[in-house]
């Protein structure tokens, strides 16, 4: 499987075995309709490159303004796929400079329009440059006042996340004076000491808890990574697609292998046979969307004659893992997969399949089904009304020009003709561009009995591995319930559910002593990214290995704080990512969180995010990519995850320029409160329409003949 070459990526793996290998989407698709014709609706921040003219590390960001910025840098439009410079074909205007001298960051807005084109067709993007001289003792050093917006921090010559100007979070039920729109810089306005938040590592034997929380344990780094390891799996789906290729009118068959990471969210254990389990595994939506079942439970596809078919799957883990910091992501052994795939020709196509142990359908009893996908899970008519036209335009431009190709296996059956694609895009728009969070729950059944004989020694190994994988995950989930019931547990309103249900961006507006902003500065993340290495034939293969976000050349180092105040509550809603799922497209919704030094590579999508108190609070879905082939260097970039819950309805305010406006326009984005695990309390989540528990209730209703009525987490769904 080849590595993706884009700046920013969803961290799953996708390879079309018989044709071409790629990551989650094809970076070689053009976002321009003709050779030198620019479609501004398809441009993302990835295509805007900063070219430096003069060193800026010895000056303050506040010394840069509209009049002199060209002495230090210029912004160019360069095609991401082939580095072709198209700057001469567009007008690029900079403005709204804002300096953050405390952190050495300069932010500004870039407006792009086509030369000799319609001047009303203009798109605006936010960029940041860091590396300026810092003045940590002076928060009032920003002399530029064209805007108060402060977008995402961008390393010089390094990746840019396609997202809007950084907004201000405002509780909708209370008034608040206008302040700096940076989510981190206004933390001091609340009752929490956000300005004192640092990245230093506290003694693992202590907490910053008040005395009445003495029972709340802070786990060591090794303990937390061990917890994550026990309940996590490397996932692999094997999908076959028979279709008629419109390019040559030939019937073809493609074989896809997709990879991601999942973790045990919930389970059922048979009351009749203690060796039978139904597992509920959480992963990303963009991982689950590569799972194709004609009878899928969640949003089954009923408007297509032919769809891809997932004919097998694997769960795997690395063994003999050490949880101390490693100097390289390739340190651990490749995952060993327990595999259900009866299609032998397909199995023979699977890359590097010596680490797969095929078992029969007496072991892995079912191919997974999607039980819950976080799509259109909130009723937010305000957001759809205010932004549907912009999202439709964004989707249409990207779809027509192939920018969404690799996210959808159906793309192979689509025409390359622009008019055909435009008609198809209009059909998708007619369905409606929905809302999504990158979260889904899949389910499958296993038999871990020890007395199923097998004459096949590899199948016997696979059976033993499966038993260990399942029992370890179940044991850790059971243990997490005990942790959640510890008196005084932070940021947790329901001790019966072992998941943090108060998101950190909501913490800063709360005065509840059970909520702590000072205890959110670390995110523990680990999963199964693909690592390139040489096999016995001296050929490069991509093997999925256990990797933690604490890479270090010092095996005794501790994970330092990786969530600081400037990374809280990052937003990707205005021009965020678009995701396909079951023949419909969705736009990213709500808050997302950046985390330092945590850009695990392709295959890690879906990894759980843990707090230092040993409980999950997020799901990892992507990261920045500088293009470095050095795994240690690549992981030093930022990762991105979604919270499992947002405890408060939130409103974002920001300014942005687009179309023919010369002045920034004020916008508001509404974000409804939600809980992806359990949104049944409508006093807390009045506009949430679906969650895992609500979907589970409907799913188990189809299993009414079973004696096992509930799950471990929800005995009464």
Listed by start position, the domains of the chain span 45-161
Identify the burial level of 167 via C-beta atoms within 10 angstroms of its C-beta, where 0-12 means exposed, 13-18 middle and 19 or more buried.
buried
- Predicted pLDDT at 507: 64
**pLDDT, mean of residues 91-110:** 82
138 or 585, which is more confident: 585
pLDDT of residue 41: 61
pLDDT digits (tens, 9 = 90+) for 610-622: 999 999 999 999 8
Summarize the confidence of residues 244-260 as an average pLDDT. 89
Region 417-423 average pLDDT: 93
Whether the predicted pLDDT of 167 surpasses 70: no
Q: How far is Cα 140 from Cα 473, in angstroms, rounded to an integer?
A: 50
pLDDT of residue 454: 65
65-89 pLDDT, tens digit each = 988 999 999 999 987 656 778 898 8
- C-alpha to C-alpha distances, 361 to 20, 335, 442, nearest whole angstrom: 30, 21, 18
Task: Give the model's pLDDT for residue 32.
Answer: 27
Within 10 angstroms of residue 29's Cβ, the number of other Cβ atoms is: 16
Q: Shortest CA distance to 626 belongs to which of 103, 46, 81, 84?
A: 46
Please compute the mean of the pLDDT values over residues 1-25 and round it to a whole number.
Answer: 34
Q: Over the Cα atoms of the chain, what is R_g?
A: 25
pLDDT greater than 80 at residue 700: yes
Helices 457-484 & 221-231, crossing angle to 10 degrees? 130
Tell how far CA 447 is from the center of its chain.
31
Q: Provide the pLDDT for residue 423.
A: 95
Higher pLDDT, 596 or 142: 596
Identify the pLDDT of residue 116: 73
Quote the pLDDT of residue 173.
Answer: 34
The pLDDT tens digits of the residues spanning 559-601 come to 877 786 666 555 544 557 899 999 999 998 888 888 887 778 8
Asked if pLDDT for residue 234 goes beyond 80, the answer is: yes
Q: Is 582:301 a contact under the CB 8 Å cutoff? A: yes
Contact yes or no for 594/236 (Cβ under 8 A): no
Strands 356-358 and 578-580: unpaired
How far apart, in whole angstroms, are the C-alpha atoms of residue 287 and residue 358? 22
Top-confidence range, 161-170, 476-485, 698-707 = 476-485
**601 vs 149, more confident:** 601
What is the Cα–Cα distance from 516 to 491, expressed in whole angstroms? 7
Q: Which of 169-183, 540-554, 626-640 tops mean pLDDT?
A: 540-554
Task: Supply the pLDDT for residue 258.
Answer: 92
CA geometry: angle 166, 169, 175, nearest 5 deg: 135
Residue 465 corresponds to which tokens in the numbers above?
């591995």
Query: What is the predicted pLDDT for the residue at 690?
Result: 98
How far apart (Å, rounded) are the C-alpha atoms in residues 145 and 599? 33
Burial class (CB in 10 A: 0-12, 13-18, 19+), 629: exposed
Cβ pair 109, 28 in contact under 8 A: no
What values do phi and psi take at 194, rounded to 5? Answer: -65, -35
* Residue that wins the pLDDT comparison between 7 and 509: 509
Residue 59 has pLDDT above 50, yes or no: yes
pLDDT score, position 289: 93
Most confident range (mean pLDDT) of 380-394, 438-452, 483-497 is: 438-452
First-to-last alpha carbon distance for the chain, in angstroms, is 41
Mean pLDDT highest for which of 131-140, 276-285, 600-609?
276-285
Q: Which residue has the tokens 């879906």?
A: 606
Q: Determine which helix (DSSP H) or strand (DSSP E) holds 391, and give its type and residue range.
A: helix 381-400
The strand pairing partners of 580, in sequence order, are: 585
Percentage of the chain lying above the pLDDT 70 cut: 73
H or E element that contains 531? strand 530-534
Q: Which of 29-43, 353-367, 551-565, 633-647 has the lowest mean pLDDT?
A: 29-43
Tokens encoding 373 = 């996908």
- Judge whether residue 193 has pLDDT over 90: no
pLDDT of residue 280: 98
Give the residue carrying structure tokens 């976002």.
31
Angstrom distance (rounded) from CA 27 to CA 85: 17
For residue 41, what are the CA distances in angstroms to 109, 400, 425, 665, 704? 16, 11, 14, 19, 49
Helices (H), 588-657: 631-635
Q: How many CB atoms lie within 10 A of CB 237?
A: 23
- Split at pLDDT 50, 70, 90, the class of 631 is low
Contacts of 110 (CB under 8 A, 6+ apart): 48, 75, 92, 93, 94, 124, 125, 126, 127
Of the pLDDT bands very low, low, confident and very high (cuts 50, 70, 90), residue 231 is very high
Cα–Cα distances (Å) from 688 to 32, 207, 377, 646, in that order, read 38, 34, 6, 11
Q: In this structure, what DSSP letter does residue 83 have?
A: -
Comparing 527 with 102, the larger pLDDT belongs to 527
For 369, other C-beta atoms within 10 Å of its C-beta total 19
pLDDT given at position 325: 86
Q: Is the pLDDT of residue 185 over 80?
A: no
403 band by pLDDT with thresholds 50, 70 and 90: confident
């Amino acid at each position: 499987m080849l590595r993706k070459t884009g700046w920013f990526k969803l961290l799953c793996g996708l390879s079309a075995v018989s044709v071409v290998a790629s990551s989650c989407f094809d970076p070689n698709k053009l976002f321009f309709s003709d050779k030198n014709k620019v479609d501004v609706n398809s441009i993302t921040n990835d295509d805007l490159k900063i070219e430096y003219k003069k060193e800026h590390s010895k000056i303050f960001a506040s010394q840069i303004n509209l009049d002199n910025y060209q002495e230090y840098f210029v912004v160019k439009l360069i095609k991401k796929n082939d580095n072709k410079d198209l700057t001469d074909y567009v007008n690029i205007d900079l403005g709204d400079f804002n300096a953050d001298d405390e952190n050495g960051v300069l932010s500004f807005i870039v407006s792009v329009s086509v030369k000799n084109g319609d001047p009303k067709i203009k798109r605006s993007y936010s960029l940041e440059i860091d590396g300026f001289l810092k003045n940590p003792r002076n928060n009032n050093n920003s002399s530029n006042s064209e805007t108060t917006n402060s977008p995402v921090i961008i390393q010089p010559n390094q990746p840019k996340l396609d997202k809007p100007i950084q907004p201000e979070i405002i509780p909708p039920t209370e008034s608040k004076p206008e302040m700096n729109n940076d989510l981190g810089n206004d933390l001091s306005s609340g009752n929490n000491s956000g300005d004192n938040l640092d990245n230093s590592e506290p003694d693992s034997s202590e907490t910053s808890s008040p005395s009445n929380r003495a029972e709340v344990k802070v786990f060591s780094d090794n303990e937390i990574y061990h917890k994550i390891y026990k309940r996590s799996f490397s996932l692999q789906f094997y999908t076959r697609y028979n279709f008629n290729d419109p390019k040559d009118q030939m019937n073809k068959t493609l074989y896809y292998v997709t990879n991601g990471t999942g973790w045990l969210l919930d389970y059922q254990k048979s009351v009749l046979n203690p060796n039978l389990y139904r597992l509920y595994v959480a992963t990303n939506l963009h991982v689950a969307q590569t799972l194709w079942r004609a009878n899928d439970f969640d949003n089954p596809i009923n408007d297509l004659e032919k769809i891809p078919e997932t004919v097998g799957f694997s769960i795997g883990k690395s063994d003999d893992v050490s949880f101390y910091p490693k100097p390289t992501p390739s340190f651990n052994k490749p995952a060993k997969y327990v595999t259900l795939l009866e299609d032998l020709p397909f199995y023979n196509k699977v890359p590097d399949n010596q680490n797969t142990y095929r078992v029969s359908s007496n072991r892995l009893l079912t191919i997974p089904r999607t039980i819950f996908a976080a799509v259109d899970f909130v009723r937010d008519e305000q957001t759809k009304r205010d932004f549907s036209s912009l999202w439709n335009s964004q989707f249409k431009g990207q779809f027509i020009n192939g920018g969404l190709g690799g996210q959808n296996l159906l793309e192979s059956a689509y025409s390359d003709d622009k008019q055909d694609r435009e008609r198809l895009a209009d059909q998708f728009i007619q369905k409606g561009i929905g809302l999504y969070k990158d979260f889904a729950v899949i389910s499958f059944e296993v038999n871990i009995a020890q007395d199923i004989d097998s004459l096949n020694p590899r199948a016997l190994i696979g059976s033993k591995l499966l038993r260990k994988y399942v029992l370890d995950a179940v044991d850790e989930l059971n243990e997490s319930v005990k942790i959640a019931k510890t008196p005084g547990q932070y940021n947790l309103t329901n001790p019966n559910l072992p998941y943090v249900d108060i998101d950190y961006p909501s913490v800063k507006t709360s005065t509840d002593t059970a909520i702590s902003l000072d205890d959110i500065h670390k995110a523990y993340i680990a999963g199964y990214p693909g690592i390139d290495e040489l096999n016995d034939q001296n050929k490069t293969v991509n093997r999925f290995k256990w990797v933690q976000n604490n890479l270090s050349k010092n095996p005794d180092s501790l994970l330092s704080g990786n969530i600081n105040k400037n990374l809280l509550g990052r937003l990707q809603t205005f021009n965020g990512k678009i995701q396909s799922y079951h023949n419909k497209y969705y736009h990213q919704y709500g808050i997302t969180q950046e985390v330092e030094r945590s850009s695990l590579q392709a295959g890690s999508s879906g990894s759980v995010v843990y707090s230092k108190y040993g409980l999950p609070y997020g799901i990892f879905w992507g990261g920045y990519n500088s293009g470095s082939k050095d795994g240690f260097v690549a992981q030093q970039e930022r990762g991105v995850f979604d919270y499992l819950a947002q405890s408060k309805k939130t409103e974002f305010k920001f300014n942005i320029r687009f179309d023919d406006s010369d002045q920034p326009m004020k916008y508001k984005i509404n974000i409804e409160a939600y809980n992806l695990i359990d949104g049944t309390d409508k006093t807390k989540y009045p506009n949430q329409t679906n969650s895992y528990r609500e979907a589970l209730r409907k799913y188990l209703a189809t299993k009414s003949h079973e004696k096992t009525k509930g799950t471990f987490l929800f005995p009464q769904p």
